[in-house]
A and B are shown apart, each in its own frame.
Chain A
Amino acid sequence: MPAEVLAPPLGTNVDTLLLAEWHRREGAVIRAGDPLFSVETDKATLDVESPASGTLGRILVPAGSDVPSLTRVAWILLPGETTADIPSEATPEAIDGPALATGAAVTAAESALPRGDRVFISPRARRLAETEGVAWELVAPTGPEGAVIERDIRAALAARGDESGLLERLPLDGIRGVIARRMAESAASVAPVTLTTEADATYLVEHRAALAEQGLRVSYNDLLLHLLAGVLPRHLRLNASLRDAHIHVWKEVHLGLAVDTDRGLMAPVLRNADCKTLVEVAAETRGLIASARAGTLRPEALRGATFTLTNLGMFGIDAFTPIVNLPECAILGVGRIKEVPAVVDGRIEIRRRVWLSLTFDHRLIDGGLAARFLQDLVRGIESRREHVVAIT
């Protein structure tokens, strides 16, 4: 089946973008990664690369159009395919199929999105559909010229069943939509394995306190990012991503940091973390978090991570299983640091310990590599020397 080309999700609050220019014409031979078209947001112009190698089979959205993120804009024919292989638009028979016989709105996004040819809807019906959150492209039209009209939306609503206990119906769009899609994609394609281990973070805590005494305020995340940047170059198979059926191993370390914002989860990227001092890491991370929360991140600040850190310690969580941030290979989840009795040199002491959860995509690496990486990281966290070096 031909590969679909989607308008990219651009993070932040970008719902639609302008498809500014097609760099290639229909029929052009392209390789994965070639710039295929450019998009504009109010913030930036970006080139979007071809997701596959083959022939640009059909452009669905002409240049100059506004398109929602993740809208299919073209099909790429893989070797041996022709335009006949492009899935045809949903036929009326399909729409009148069993799922819709009762007027039910199809909710599975893949069933008919979009039809290729434009689906017309009356202004009145569109207003109602948007208010009620009905995916009108999927509703069987009965209006003049085959347009979706108000009664079609009403029929879809009636078929929703009992909603008397419903508080509100929120559209799965914007950032929520992007997150939903990426999570679903990750869950559907990744072969996740999560390794958990507990590390002694006493020195980490002491180190942070010592820095504070010197007037340098850093967060645990800053310390962990800095440590990761130090450890990852020794385990580059985890500093990798899967693209076009190839494992891309990166020599530079770009660390994503999951940030909880009012708009939803975002992961701004600390670029070239392996070349930065702790002070630089702390300063830059503070800026990224602030921008993420303010909604002022540039789209490129959300792209290109090679590994991601997610930390729920501040919420009192001990351990969890993170989901891999595609197309990256692995993600580290960090829990809270808490005081526990621990055996040290045969004696019970009160130590500060932290759970680490490393989820990796088993398609890219095996458990041994991942375990050795985690071990190395634990060693870094527990080593007084690592921290002394870091201070200087």
Chain B
Amino acid sequence: MSGTAVVETEIEPLSGEDRWSLYRQMLLIRRFEERCNALFLQGKIPSTLHLYIGQEAVAVGICAALRVDDYLTSTHRPHGHALAKGVSAGPIMAELFAKSNGCCKGKGGSMHVGGMEVGMPPAIAIVGGGAPVAAGMALSSKMRRSGQVTASFFGDGGANEGAVHEAMNMAAIWRLPVLFVCENNLYGASTPVGQTVAVENIADRAAGYGMPGVIVDGNDVLAVRDAALAAVRRARAGEGPTLLECKTYRFCGHSRSDACNYRTRDEEAAWKQRDPLLVLGAVLAAAEDPRFEEMERSVSEEIDAAVAYAEAGPDPLPEDALLHVYWEGE
């Protein structure tokens, strides 16, 4: 069970309908993030944004393997994770608008969206900080014999945090039901992963913890889903955690202020050939298939509704800042 492994092929393939569903989720994230970018430029969103564009297949593929009551810890780039896990677009958008009907009532903002009703606590924007928390959620489900699994997302940057190391080790020794999902988008902010990791693959480190490490094409949602499902089954069976390294690429800058001068336009163009929407789209149907346009329309309507929800939401009162420092009850 140690060492880098290729995903097993005993996972049954998804039906056509389910594949369209994954496509729609990825499209929703893509168009949501694009809309966020536009709204930011209009001044409607008061904070910087870490957009998920390009990495949609990872969140959607992992969450396709999770139940609604499974847990997820996210990062400073959480919109895609939240949408994929099932947080509604409206409350996420309202949170970005800093409205009191946001998913964190305006106390979180872009970097802390979440929804405990779908198993996602506020995203943890301290790099690597979510991994031990995820291990704790997994410990909890193990002790409660609930069968729940926790997916912990972090990036190639987060992989180098001590917190991730401690979490992986503890999850491995107690066989906690965790998926450590490393979204390796090749840059920790501006620093190339080759400067920060000595091994070829971050998944190679799994052997050191005594857990399987799996390398996945992070732009192929079906591959991610299959790998995740295998890991989830292992976890639910009590066999412990898996480290999934999803190789992917962010199409935007690290944050709104990043012009990406540390990487080449050729590299970006090459990755855009591997756009997760194109990769799955090619599997689904011919490009001129009317279902694509229909889906665009439906996604656009969903985002319009989310923006309307956000715009209609009231601003929080200044004194609301003083609430919820401590638990005030349900």
Are A and B direct contacts in the complex by CB distance below 8 Å?
no
Point out residues on B near A: beta carbons under 8 Å.
none
